[in-house]
Structure 1
């Protein structure tokens, strides 16, 4: 894993939920430009059972990233639907207010996008996810694009650090995550 940017290093100290810990291990993973694919991304497809139709990292992989993280943390999902970002609106339980590491589903031109809530400012959510500028990383997405916020069904109770994170920083808004 690449080192997290200093302004987000606080995430590595959170220790929970387990999806956060697992996802951060992949920060900086890049798809291969041009011909060929990143073997790690293709291995994720194999791990979650979609390698039969997911054969190239040029295919949108935000849902694949969320899916492999969910699987490694013991959360159920539909392998047949995980690549379709908007299908994540049916996963877990509805979260009325997005909080740390909820799965957020967004609308985008021609489809959807899915990633993990890191924080927010007045106008946008900071999202950690896959296929954000062709990498696993951070991006800002306008709040008006939010379709759903979903939270894992915790087996032993919700971790105490699940909370709304207010950030004073701003960033360039992403308009199309592919």
Structure 2
């Protein structure tokens, strides 16, 4: 699946590595009904969660974050399937959220985790898993932000920056 036109610029970004790894998985879709996407289940095995994660109908935003972090050479938080566990990832995002930061959001019944690719006046544009049952970019209201965390870099990529985007698309209300 190709990136939507408004996000095509992401394919030319040289980093951060977590964004590059996440983009490789863009378009992965949860299987319908009682079926499971074997790719998503393979992620659970890759990060050592095969015994606790057995169906893609189980929320998988934290699993997506874990496989992306692992492939990028970053640490995976304890209890990664719990989205709000990612509020302890890396270090605080000083100066506000920027490209590649891990954002955690509160929602009714739990939380959500995704990566910052930009923002508009009212929402963060987030690359994540289990957003409309797929890996995609969606807008999430800034008011729902719980924490913004920055990966720990040996040398921070030069393109880690705030990105202002046009407010296109509906706001996500529940990523479960």
Query: TM range, normalised to the smaller chain?
Result: over 0.9
Structure 1: gaps of 5 or more residues: none
Q: Whose strand proportion is higher, 1 or 2? A: 2
Q: Offset at 1:170?
A: 2.8
Distance 1:128 1:72 in 2: 16
TM-score normalised per structure 2: 0.97
Q: How many residues align?
A: 175
Which one of the candidate residues 164, 170, 173 is aligned to 2:171?
173
> 1:25-67: CA deviations, max 9, x gaps?
1111000010110000000000000110100000000000010
Alignment RMSD (CA, Å): 0.9
Q: SS where residue 136 of structure 1 aligns?
A: strand
Distance 1:113 1:81 in 2: 14
Distance 2:75 2:137 in 1: 25
Work out whether 1:87 is the aligned partner of 2:85. yes
Distance 2:4 2:144 in 1: 26
Asked whether the equivalents of residues 121 and 167 of structure 2 are also in contact (C-alpha less than 8 Å), the reply is: no
Q: SS where residue 112 of structure 2 aligns?
A: strand
Structure 2: gaps of 5 or more residues: none
Q: SS where residue 112 of structure 1 aligns?
A: strand
Distance 2:137 2:112 in 1: 13
Q: Offset at 1:169?
A: 2.8
Distance 1:91 1:28 in 2: 25
Distance 1:130 1:90 in 2: 19
